[in-house]
Structure 1
Amino acid sequence: MGKPVTLTLQDLNVFPRSYNSAREKLKSLSQDLVQKVERQSFPLAGITDIDTESLATDTLWIGSPTAENVVILISATHGIEGFVGAAVQIDYLQQLRQNAPPPSGTAILIIFALNPFGFAQYRRCDEMGIDLNRNFIDFSQPLPANPGYVELQQAIYCEDRLQRNAMFEQFQEQEGQTAFEIAISGGQYTDQHGPFYGGQQPAHGNRVINQVIEDYRLNHRHLAVIDIHSGLGPYSHGELINDHPLNSPGFHVTNRWYGPSVTAPASGDSSSVKKAGLLDYRWHELMAERGSFITLEFGSYRTQAMFEVILENHRSWKLADPEAINASAIAMQEHFCPRDNYWRELILIKGRQVIQQAISGLKNE
């Protein structure tokens, strides 16, 4: 059994002020590790952030290049959520500097800022308006339909909040809360300026994942993938969401490794609903019976508040209103990474616990 997790205020310094500060911190810490570190960078072509720095997804492979077991930590699949994901990654690197490395035969792969544009610009979506976590579909086939989104599209763009909420409530009364959440957040492929847009082609982060799988030969290894998210669920709670198909090998492996707190949208006991095009699905193809993909979702404010800040963010960018965009950025950061130190302490504690569970699961499988 691992040691109890203890924190100090100094530990909270891992929460970055910006995309650039997170990237620099990660780079600095990785240079100080005694373990072997291999670095790669995947630049976002033609895009710069507000400081005119180049944007990129970075990877760090820590440990033996021939390790059979790999724990993969992903941040900023939903850009703005990188403030939390990067904090967990940075905290883990600090733990590696201070404590014993992972067991022999286990490597750590950190995928930092899978959506660097969203991280740098305080958005969930990428530079094309794509929600990366709705982008992992077969684009050679007809795009998934979401009739509920079409029905709610007028409400989504309604500037009068009371009128908008009245239209939302009418839909909820007629169709139910789950149908409402699927209509809004389940994924849509018709409205580029709208929320939860899955795109018309593979996004930057989608291409990076495929390249990383190839470069590190991940299809030949045993994997524990932890994709770090925030903004959905009870305040400060770290929900472990299992999107493996019900009763599949990966579903049972995930439940075995992480225990009875694991939830599953397919079972109806998760704060998340069923969604199209999840990043999870790409890893499920790869793993077969050799691993687990878990979404570590840190809750903050209520679901309705999340929809409000996301909708306002999309409206402000569609209007290209600098003042509204700036106000939206502040609201987005507070929703997806609250400034509350007690909230942040719980995020780091849960992050350390889940990483240790993944390492132990791979070791004992």
Structure 2
Amino acid sequence: MSTVVRHFARNYAEARQKFLDAARGCGATLTEFPHPTELGHEGETLAIDVAWLGAADATRVLMVTSGTHGAEGFCGSGAQVAMLHDTALHADCRSAGWALMFVHAVNPYGFSHLRRVNEDNVDLNRNFMDFDRPLPLNPAYAEVAPLLLPPQWPPSCDDHTLLMKTVAEKGMAWYQAAVSAGQYQDPAGMFFGGQTATWSNYTLRRILARFGSGRTVLRWVDVHTGLGPWGYGEPIYMGPDAPGPLAKTRAIWGASVTSIYDGSSTSANLSGLAWQAVPQTLPSIDYAGIALEFGTLPLAEVLDALRGDHWLHVHPEADENQRALIKQSVWKAFYGDTDDWREGVVAQVTEAVRKAVDPAASRPL
């Protein structure tokens, strides 16, 4: 068995304990941001935990986040724990003048309850909006929404056929964008971006303000799963739709960095993304960031797992057998439970960190 597997967990409580133990073991400074109202699936405490490794007065910070989309946290948490054990990485970052900041479980509720959304049914990575302004409409979502959550799960043959007919007519790209781009009108619907800032949104901005104030440079790697080829960590640009910041990001992480704005990414064009917390909180810092999106199952299967989970959310009367089957589908959609997948995750996240702190290692444009 691969030694990497010891860094990964089977539930949130185990993942959190491994993170805390690894942080203490390497001398990192820990800060806990406990959830004020919610508990985990087993009644455990929920929190966003921050481990700071490096000089307290470091001016350059590399931040790695996990669990922005709850159930995707098993991947990012394992990579964070592995890097907390990587003493060679620590030494190289310190000698280059960088501090490492690991933010564990940005959405701890979803992590523990095996949901992509948070306690408010909000997709956190659609929630960083200016809520004082009119929120965007998603007419394509309104069109497909009645087909997403049939009366029974799995869908009847007729319900499945009707959805597939619509997808065949409109195209898979239309379907992906319609469902995943984010919507702000239906609080009970899928990929709801919220109508106010959530606790995780507020807390992430608190973390940036607390640990980023007075720094000059921030690089961010946010770990996600569920899109793209099995085990490949697609580096997706996290920044504004502007050529200068995109070019800077590619200079750091290489020409393989994709963008939601030009169609090169497996992700649809999205609104309310978490990176917007940086200019909202640290407007003058030199910033660049990527999401590493690790592939698991084909897109249609991932979307079906999310549909099933949302069906379960609105049908709490479902029996335990059906609940277990749906949750197993969510697990498979967002976690590649094999040694080669885990090893690839750790290697690729570590490589992204090394590229961020060592510009000489960047791939040529």
Give the TM-score normalised by structure 1: 0.91
Find the counterpart in structure 2 of residue 255 from structure 1: 250
Which residue of 1 is the match for residue 118 of structure 2? 126
Aligned equivalent of 2:166, options 154, 171, 184: 171
Residue 216 of structure 2 contacts residue 285 of structure 2 at CA under 8 Å; is this kept in 1? no
TM alignment of 1:228-239, pairs within 5 A: 228-239=223-234
Q: Deviations over 1:167-218 (max 9, x none)?
A: 3344334444333211100001122232211111111210111111221134
AA paired with 1:57?
I
- 1:325 corresponds in structure 2 to 323
Specify whether residues 86 and 310 from structure 1 end up closer, same or farther in structure 2 by C-alpha distance, changes over 3 A only: same
1:194-273 mapped onto 2 (5 Å cutoff)? 194-218=189-213, 220-273=215-268
Q: Distance in 2 between matches of 1:164 and 1:269?
A: 32
Give 1:43's aligned residue: 34
Task: Percent identity, please.
Answer: 28
- Is contact 1:317–1:325 with CA below 8 Å preserved after alignment? no
Q: Paired residue for 1:109, among 101, 122, 137? A: 101
How do 1:183-202 and structure 2 match up within 5 A? 183-202=178-197
3-state SS in 2 of match to 1:334: helix
Q: Secondary structure at the match of 1:240?
A: strand
Alignment correspondent of 1:77: 68
RMSD over aligned CA atoms reads 2.1
1:296 to 292, 295, 301: 292
1:341 counterpart (318, 334, 339): 339
CA distance in 2, matches of 1:319, 1:114: 26
- Deviation (angstroms), 1:99: 6.3
- Greater Cα offset, 71-80 or 161-170: 161-170
Residue 5 of structure 1 corresponds to none
Relative to structure 1, is the Cα distance of residues 299 and 278 closer, same or farther in structure 2, using a 3 angstrom cutoff?
Answer: same
Q: CA deviation at 1:225?
A: 0.3
| Contact 1:223–1:287 (CA under 8 A) maintained in structure 2 | no
* Residue 284 of structure 1: how far off its partner (Å): 4.8
For 2:292, what is the secondary structure of its paired residue? strand
Distance 1:363 1:300, change over 3 A: closer
Secondary structure class of the residue paired with 1:223 = strand
CA shift in 2, pair 1:190/1:162, >3 Å: farther
- How far apart, CA to CA, are the structure 1 residues paired with 2:127 and 2:248? 25
SS at the partner of 1:263? coil
Q: 1:30 aligns with which of 8, 17, 23?
A: 23
Count of matched residue positions in the alignment of Structure 1 and Structure 2:
355
- Read off the aligned partner of 1:27 and give its amino acid letter: L
1:94 alignment partner in structure 2 = 85
Residues 20 and 312 of structure 1, relative CA distance in 2, 3 Å threshold: same
Partner Cα separation in structure 2 for residue 144 and residue 247 of structure 1 = 20
* Gaps in structure 1 of 5+ consecutive residues: 1-7
Query: Following the alignment from structure 1 to structure 2, what is the Cα–Cα distance between the partners of residues 54 and 108?
Result: 25
Which region of structure 1 is more displaced relative to structure 2, 318-327 or 157-166? 157-166
Question: The residue matched to 2:87 in structure 1 has which SS?
Answer: helix
Closer, same or farther in 2 for the Cα pair 1:236/1:284, shift >3 Å?
farther
Match of 2:134 in 1: 142
Check the 8 A contact 2:76/2:224 in 1, yes or no. yes
The answer for unaligned runs of 5 or more in structure 2 is none
1:53-105 C-alpha deviation (Å, 9 max, x unpaired): 11111111111111111000000000000000101100100113786351342
Query: What is the rounded CA distance, in whole Å, between the counterparts of 1:278 and 1:218 in structure 2?
Result: 21
Secondary structure class of the residue paired with 2:358: helix
CA distance in 1, matches of 2:312, 2:44: 23
Structure 2 equivalent of residue 359 of structure 1: 357
Q: Which amino acid aligns with 2:76?
A: G
Residue pair 2:235, 2:290 contacting (<8 A) in 1 also? yes
- Match in the other structure for 2:309: 313
Distance 1:182 1:97, change over 3 A: same
Aligned to 1:152: 144
**Alpha-carbon distance in structure 2 between the residues aligned to 1:331 and 1:147:** 28
Distance 2:235 2:263 in 1: 14
